[in-house]
Chain A
Amino acid sequence: MIKVEKLSKYYGDVKAVKSIDFTVNDGEILGFLGANGAGKTTTLKVITGYLMPTSGNVYVNDMNILEHSHEIQKQIGYLAELNPLYNEMIVYDFLEFIAKIRRIEGAAYKKALVRVIDQCGLSGVVHRQIGACSKGYKQRIGLATAMIHDPAILLLDEPVTGLDPNQIVEIRELIKELGKEKLVMISSHILQEIQATVDRIVIIHKGEIVADGTSQELMSGFVGNTQLTLEAHKVNDESLQTFAATHPAINVVKTEDLKNDHRILHLEYAKEKDPRTEIFKFAVDSGWVITEMSPHQIELENIFRSLTKEGGSNA
């Protein structure tokens, strides 16, 4: 379990993280989301013991980072954002070096090596120099480094950046698989990237936590209207006026006239009411021929954008 308590980290005058609190439980996959420069990487660097907090503390399995950073580091596997690697080393030598420091030796080392090579799909590059590997392979080498000691906690800072769509799917599957028994924390600035993988989302903005919950919880807490696109033939002006008059709860945002009364209507209504059956009945009565009726889900993306609107880049 990771418990972040009133954690602040300032770089000189720059307040990167301002007194944040959150916990991550064992067996949970947490998405740590924020625009670039929101404080994600700084938070992860403090949890890994790479940086010391300005104030506050981090507890990992009831040990605090100020006093037991080495004990904590033994339990954590970490993939850094920029994934720095010793480019001049051979992949095999590099993994061996990491394993030695992680105290995996002899038969255990061979087993661990086979496991990470299999999990991360590294079999083709083991004898290659790291600098000669592609970006995708380098990312997997970083992941293998984080997993070689089979840690209970995995911290992955933007793990899928720079991977192609197939690799992204593979890594997602791997993370899901790992998340069944491990605590996994993934940071990202792209919501779709992690939405499908994570159990819970924490959104950080300008060093402060602005949302914390499952994606369902975040969506239900969001106040807003549902939008619906309705495409129909034989929609004349008269019936459209009647429709607007008889359905005050539905707001006709915009109409697009195509030709011969073929129109696309953009409608909006409060999200707790679903007026689709009424619309259908009205259409039948007025002789409209509906060719498309599709409500737009409130996307988590919108919530993320509205929470992190000012400053930073909107992911």
Chain B
Amino acid sequence: MRNILAIYTKELKTYFNAPMAYIFLVIFAVVNGYFFTNTFFLFNQSNMRALFNIIPLVYLFFIPAVTMSLIAREKNVGTIEIVHTMPIKDGEFITGKFLAAFTLILVGLGTTLLHLITLMNVGMNIDYGAVLTGYLGLAMVGAVYTSVGTFSSSITDNQVVAFIIGLFIVLVFFLMDKMLIFVPASMAGIIQYLSVDYHFSNISRGVIDSRNLIYFASVIGFFLLMTARMLEIRKWR
């Protein structure tokens, strides 16, 4: 636990001592702000649907960019040797890294609360429950994409390759339920269940179902475990 905290703190310091985190946060806020306000006054509806629809799309590019350096950079520079010759378990190392990147995503998500304030000032009959579950869903999707990014960062020592692989995998998860018309009916159910969007839309509608939470937890767990396997393989090669 203390190792996780040490890695986590170090990673956050690395993010926030460099311009990287600030650039990410500003661009993330501007992009979301544009897409939200663009339609908000046009539709004249007191909800944040527009924002909740756009953020998963923005995540697609932003999260792989945030996570690409997590492990690939350590491999490239060689600092992974420092970590792996000290008594740190792979799981602690990965969890610390994952949580740090996830924290940055949450801070990014926090910038969109500004739009909630706008809504509270101009809107009527706001469904705060839906807003809350919407944010919970966004956090979950962010965590899933972060775990994918952590994994893709562990399979290469090249950050650009890590970004592209990460983008590809999250794109597959994102597009799965949009491709349902192309797959045989027998497969459709499974593919739909695997897609991130299906579970996200359930949650953002205001329904917190344990099935959705279990789905998110298991995808995160799967990719973090795969990351641990990738790190383990290195020792035996």
Residues of chain A whose beta carbon lies under 8 Å from any beta carbon of chain B:
11-12, 45, 48-52, 70-71, 73-74, 76, 78, 80, 82, 84-89, 93, 97-98, 100-103, 145
Q: Give the distance to chain A from B65, nearest Cβ to Cβ, in Å.
A: 17
- A70 and B89 in contact, given A82-B78, A87-B77, A103-B2 (Cβ under 8 angstroms): yes
Closest to A129 in B: B17
Residue B184 CB within 8 A of the other chain: no
Q: Give the distance to chain B from A162, nearest Cβ to Cβ, in Å.
A: 15
Known: A49-B84, A78-B85, A102-B86. 9 other contacts (CB 8 A): A11-B237, A52-B236, A73-B86, A73-B87, A80-B82, A86-B82, A88-B14, A88-B17, A103-B2
Closest to B88 in A: A101
Alpha-carbon separation in the docked complex, A71 to B6 (Å): 19
Q: Which residue of B6, B10, B81 is within 8 Å of A84 (Cβ)?
A: B81
Contacts of A11 in B (CB 8 A): 237
B6–A101 contact, CB under 8 A? yes
A98–B86 contact, CB under 8 A? yes
* Sampled A-B contacts (9; CB under 8 Å): A50-B81, A73-B85, A73-B87, A82-B78, A86-B79, A89-B10, A97-B6, A102-B86, A103-B2
Contacts of A88 in B (CB 8 A): 14, 17-18
Q: Which residue of A50, A101, A145 is within 8 Å of B235 (Cβ)?
A: A50
- A86 and B14 in contact, given A101-B3, A101-B6 (Cβ under 8 angstroms): yes
Alpha-carbon separation in the docked complex, A48 to B83 (Å): 11
B235–A52 contact, CB under 8 A? yes
Contacts of B5 in A (CB 8 A): 100
Q: Give the distance to chain A from B96, nearest Cβ to Cβ, in Å.
A: 10
- A97 and B2 in contact, given A51-B235, A84-B81 (Cβ under 8 angstroms): no
Closest to A72 in B: B87
Q: Chain B interface mostly helix, strand, loop or mixed?
A: helix
- A101 and B87 in contact, given A85-B79, A86-B79 (Cβ under 8 angstroms): yes
Contacts of B80 in A (CB 8 A): 84
- A84 and B86 in contact, given A50-B235, A97-B6, A100-B2 (Cβ under 8 angstroms): no
Q: Give the distance to chain B from A144, nearest Cβ to Cβ, in Å.
A: 12
Closest to B10 in A: A97
Contacts of B86 in A (CB 8 A): 73, 98, 101-102
Residue B178 CB within 8 A of the other chain: no
Residues of chain B whose beta carbon lies under 8 Å from any beta carbon of chain A:
2-3, 5-6, 9-10, 13-14, 17-18, 77-82, 84-89, 235-237
Alpha-carbon separation in the docked complex, A151 to B231 (Å): 26
Q: Which residue of B6, B77, B87 is within 8 Å of A70 (Cβ)?
A: B87
Q: Which residue of A70, A82, A93 is within 8 Å of B13 (Cβ)?
A: A93
B2–A84 contact, CB under 8 A? no
Alpha-carbon separation in the docked complex, A157 to B228 (Å): 27
Closest to A105 in B: B2
Contacts of A86 in B (CB 8 A): 10, 14, 77, 79, 82
Q: Give the distance to chain B from A66, nearest Cβ to Cβ, in Å.
A: 11
Q: Which one of B81, B84, B85 has the highest number of Cβ atoms from chain A below 10 Å of its Cβ?
A: B85
Q: Give the distance to chain A from B82, nearest Cβ to Cβ, in Å.
A: 6
Alpha-carbon separation in the docked complex, A303 to B224 (Å): 52
Alpha-carbon separation in the docked complex, A85 to B89 (Å): 20
Q: Which residue of A52, A76, A84, A98 is within 8 Å of B78 (Cβ)?
A: A84
B85–A80 contact, CB under 8 A? yes
Alpha-carbon separation in the docked complex, A71 to B3 (Å): 15
A80–B18 contact, CB under 8 A? no
- A84 and B77 in contact, given A50-B85, A89-B13, A101-B87 (Cβ under 8 angstroms): yes
Q: Give the distance to chain B from A137, nearest Cβ to Cβ, in Å.
A: 17
Q: Give the distance to chain B from A131, nearest Cβ to Cβ, in Å.
A: 11
Contacts of A100 in B (CB 8 A): 2, 5-6
Contacts of A103 in B (CB 8 A): 2
Q: Give the distance to chain B from A52, nearest Cβ to Cβ, in Å.
A: 5
A80–B81 contact, CB under 8 A? yes
Alpha-carbon separation in the docked complex, A314 to B84 (Å): 32
Alpha-carbon separation in the docked complex, A121 to B189 (Å): 65
B79–A48 contact, CB under 8 A? no
Alpha-carbon separation in the docked complex, A76 to B84 (Å): 12
Contacts of B84 in A (CB 8 A): 49-50
Alpha-carbon separation in the docked complex, A86 to B82 (Å): 10
A80–B78 contact, CB under 8 A? yes
Alpha-carbon separation in the docked complex, A130 to B3 (Å): 22
Alpha-carbon separation in the docked complex, A50 to B234 (Å): 9
Q: Which residue of A45, A51, A70, A84 is within 8 Å of B82 (Cβ)?
A: A84
Q: Which one of B14, B18, B86 has the highest number of Cβ atoms from chain A below 10 Å of its Cβ?
A: B86
Q: Which one of A73, A76, A85, A101 has the highest number of Cβ atoms from chain B below 10 Å of its Cβ?
A: A101
- A74 and B78 in contact, given A51-B235, A100-B2, A101-B6 (Cβ under 8 angstroms): no
- A145 and B89 in contact, given A88-B17, A103-B2 (Cβ under 8 angstroms): no
Contacts of B2 in A (CB 8 A): 100, 103
Alpha-carbon separation in the docked complex, A51 to B84 (Å): 9
